[in-house]
Amino acid sequence: GDSVTQMEGPVTLSEEAFLTINCTYTATGYPSLFWYVQYPGEGLQLLLKATKADDKGSNKGFEATYRKETTSFHLEKGSVQVSDSAVYFCALSDTGTYKYIFGTGTRLKVLA
């Protein structure tokens, strides 16, 4: 079945460092791909999405490119801030299934 694999956390970075969180997927169809962020005590917030191969999603300085050839959707940010500390989830959704399959989440901690 479909699955999403994320890099293990926690990831600890200093402020202004470059961030990469790896995400790879397995899917039988042509899924849409998403990154969500969860702050302590809150639900999930959509960070960015891409619906087809080579699409680049971007928001708040974060970006990720849908790579069909490597089945990847890695999250990047050029300069992280303390306020980016949260748990990041990669997810896929096959059209017509109306559900997400989530990765296990990667906790990011940014130190001042």
Partner 1 sequence: KAGVTQTPRYLIKTRGQQVTLSCSPISGHRSVSWYQQTPGQGLQFLFEYFSETQRNKGNFPGRFSGRQFSNSRSEMNVSTLELGDSALYLCASSEDGNYGYTFGSGTRLTVV
Residue closest to 104 by CA, chosen among 2, 1, 8: 8
Shortest CB 60 distance to partner 1, Å: 16
Nearer to partner 1, 17 or 87 (CB): 87
Nearer to partner 1, 48 or 110 (CB): 48
70: left (phi > 0), else alpha (psi -120 to 50), else beta? alpha
Residues in the chain: 112
Nearer to partner 1, 70 or 96 (CB): 96
Shortest CB 105 distance to partner 1, Å: 7
Nearer to partner 1, 38 or 72 (CB): 38
Distances in whole angstroms, Cα of residue 39 to Cα of each of 15, 65, 106: 18, 23, 12
Shortest CB 28 distance to partner 1, Å: 16
Shortest CB 45 distance to partner 1, Å: 7
Q: Judging by beta carbons within 10 Å of its beta carbon (0-12, 13-18, 19+), is residue 102 exposed, middle or buried?
A: middle
Chain positions contacting partner 1, by CB under 8 A: 32, 34, 36, 41-46, 49, 89, 93, 95-105
Q: Are strands 106-111 and 11-14 parallel, antiparallel or unpaired?
A: parallel
